């Protein structure tokens, strides 16, 4: 049986980045898929489909939706029957015994050294470095140029802004947000929003 091309769920900036990564690594992209409330049409030279038939028949896809909560909802509900494929830029490096879940997006040169674990639907932007024994939970997102030192832990859904550094063995709790440029020197509680060097809880109106 002839295998269909891949579908990319989401046609925003991340969707276009994922299309570029897949095409750069020699994979055929069939179309973008968007919720019916978004406009169908064309994007980056590919069709954009918003019809229920396309959603129902989608089997191989990359979930290129920037918001981690939305990625989780789609993976666990509307697309739970889907087989998810990873989009790994060919210039990225993955070291010995490191394991990646399904649907990981590695958007450009990034390096994961040895014995690291990356969960499902994790978004890793260009220029990230992930050192030995680090763990990244499902649906987490790392902005461009994040650096995880050895044994760092980023739990499910945590969102690290551009240029975040996590020191060795520090833990960023589930669904926490770490602001751009922050250095995580002590554990971040689940759901917290932290900024700065060293990273501290965000309190508005203080700066
Ligand atoms: C931390 C963050 C999530 C806060 O967003 P927000 O709640 O909308 O915050 P605001 O823009 O209202 O700013 C609130 C205050 O925090 C400060 N602040 C915001 N981001 C900050 C940061 N990264 N570091 C230090 N201070 C920051 C602001 O100066 C402001 O201070 P003030 O109230 O004293 O004026 C956001 O600023 C951020 O850093 N996001 C990362 C974006 C990114 O890199 N994405 C990568 C996509 S590829």
Q: How far is the CA of 70 from the centre of ligand 1 (A)?
A: 21
Distance separating alpha carbons of residues 176 and 156, to the nearest angstrom: 9
**In this structure, what token pair is assigned to residue 17?**
């980045």
Going residue by residue through the chain, which has 207 residues, state the pLDDT in tens, using 9 for 90 and above.
335 789 999 999 999 999 999 999 999 999 999 988 777 788 899 999 998 788 888 889 999 999 999 999 999 999 999 999 999 999 999 999 999 999 999 999 999 999 999 999 999 999 999 999 999 999 999 999 999 999 999 999 999 999 999 999 999 999 999 999 999 999 999 999 999 999 999 987 655
Determine if ligand 1 sits within 6 Å of the CB of residue 81. no
Segments of the chain assigned to CATH 2.160.10.10: 87-196
CATH C-level class of 87-196: mainly beta
Determine if residue 17 is left, alpha or beta; phi over 0 gives left, psi from -120 to 50 gives alpha, anything else beta: alpha
Segments of the chain assigned to CATH 3.40.50.20: 6-84
Scanning the chain, the segments in alpha helix (DSSP H) are 13-24, 52-57, 68-76
Instruction: Please tell me the residue having the least CA distance from ligand 1 atom 13.
Output: 204
Q: Is 132 an active-site residue?
A: yes
State in Å, rounded, how far the first CA of the chain is from the last one.
61
Determine if ligand 1 sits within 6 Å of the CB of residue 161. yes
CA 61 to each of CA 10, 50, 127, 181: distance values in angstroms, whole numbers, following the listed order: 10, 15, 24, 32
Single pTM value for the model: 0.95
CATH number of 6-84: 3.40.50.20
């Amino acid at each position: 049986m002839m295998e269909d091309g891949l579908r990319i769920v989401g046609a925003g900036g991340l969707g276009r980045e994922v299309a570029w990564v897949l095409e750069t690594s020699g994979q055929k992209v069939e179309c973008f898929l968007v919720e019916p409330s978004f406009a169908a049409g064309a994007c980056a030279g590919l069709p954009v489909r918003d019809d229920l038939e396309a959603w129902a028949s989608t089997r191989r896809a990359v979930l290129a939706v920037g918001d981690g909560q939305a990625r989780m909802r789609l993976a666990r509900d509307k697309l739970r029957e889907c087989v998810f494929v990873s989009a790994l830029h060919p210039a990225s490096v993955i070291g010995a015994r490191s394991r990646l879940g399904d649907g990981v997006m590695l958007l450009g040169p990034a390096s994961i050294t040895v014995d690291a674990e990356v969960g499902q639907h994790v978004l890793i932007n260009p220029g990230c470095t992930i050192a030995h024994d680090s763990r990244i939970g499902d649906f987490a997102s790392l902005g461009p140029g994040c650096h995880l030192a050895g044994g760092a832990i980023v739990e499910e859904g945590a969102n690290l802004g551009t240029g975040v550094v996590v020191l060795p063995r520090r833990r960023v709790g589930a669904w926490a947000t770490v602001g751009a440029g922050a250095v995580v020197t002590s554990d971040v509680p689940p759901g917290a929003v932290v900024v700065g060097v060293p990273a501290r809880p965000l309190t508005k109106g203080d700066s």
